Amino acid sequence: MTDAGSAARTRPLNEQVALVTGSSRGIGRAIAERLATQVAAVVVNYHSNADDAAQVVKTIQAAGADAVAVRADIGDVAQVRGLFDSAHEHFGGLDIIVHNAATASFGPLAEATDDDFDLIFTANARATFLVLREAATRVREAGRIVFVSSGVTATHRPGTGLYAAGKAAGEQLVRVLARELGSRAITVNSVLPGATRTEALATSGDPTMIEQVAALTPLGRIGEPADLADIVGFLVSHDARWVTGQSLHAGGGLF
């Protein structure tokens, strides 16, 4: 029996190089540290928290993988190109790209300003376009691209309009890119976290929200960054070679 996925995967996972955008904190950090247990090297991208990113690099190196922190605003085309160039300069190429960095903002559409639209679409739709476009030409044969979206694209809750629309644009790009890169055995998928315990959630406004979401969630709690990291760890593995163009709902059954 032949296994086209195996044949196309030219590099063993433990020799691969991963890039995780927004991995100085939160879900991105958990993903970077999880991938470090599977791959040879991780590029830790951050925007402003250099100390946090340096800490992630240390943790990864202590676990036996190589790592470098690279500052880049993923809403800026030149900085996104520079980020991918850095990955190439440090580690010779990329096999796995996880686009996780984002900016959230909530409020009724009737009160949203033009500036709110530009800010959220730059940090989400435009940034995802810039990262996926670069990933499409830089990822090696049989590589993996994962986009961290949000369950808001499935729940349609009041106040999430701009953020959900920015993320939904990214999910659409993922579905199309999966079809464009399939002939190179590259998979492209979205993961949709539900509410997950990070700084972003803690500062999002309503302190009762965590309890409310936990009560509504079939699995009875909100997510932890490690829940998402394990899913991404699966999606980048050889075991997930037959999954592409999908939006994976990761919210404990809430959506």
The count of C-alpha atoms lying within 13 angstroms of the C-alpha of 155, restricted to the half-sphere facing its C-beta, is 22
d(CA 68, CA 75): 20
* 155 lines the binding site for ligand NAP (CB under 6 A): no
Looking at residues 192 to 221 of the shown chain, list those that interact with ligand NAP (rule: CB under 6 A): 193, 195-196, 198-201
* 126 lines the binding site for ligand NAP (CB under 6 A): no
Of 89, 78, 184, nearest in space to 130 by CA: 78
In whole angstroms, how close is the CB of 7 to ligand NAP at the nearest point?
Answer: 33
The neighbour count for residue 176, using CB atoms within 10 Å, is: 12
6 is catalytic: no
- Catalytic one of 23, 46, 86, 163: 163
d(CA 251, CA 234): 16
Contact track, ligand NAP, 47-76, x by CB under 6 A: xxx--x--------------------xxx-
The neighbour count for residue 208, using CB atoms within 10 Å, is: 7
Identify whether the C-beta of residue 245 lies closer than 8 Å to the C-beta of residue 173. no
* 170 lines the binding site for ligand NAP (CB under 6 A): no
- Taking CB atoms, the residue at the shortest distance from ligand NAP is 26
Identify whether the C-beta of residue 20 lies closer than 8 Å to the C-beta of residue 45. yes
SS3 13: helix
* 143 lines the binding site for ligand NAP (CB under 6 A): no
Looking at residues 23 to 42 of the shown chain, list those that interact with ligand NAP (rule: CB under 6 A): 23-28
Number of residues that bind ligand NAP (CB under 6 A): 33
| Cβ closest to ligand NAP, residue 190 vs residue 244 | 190
Catalytic residues: 149-150, 163, 167
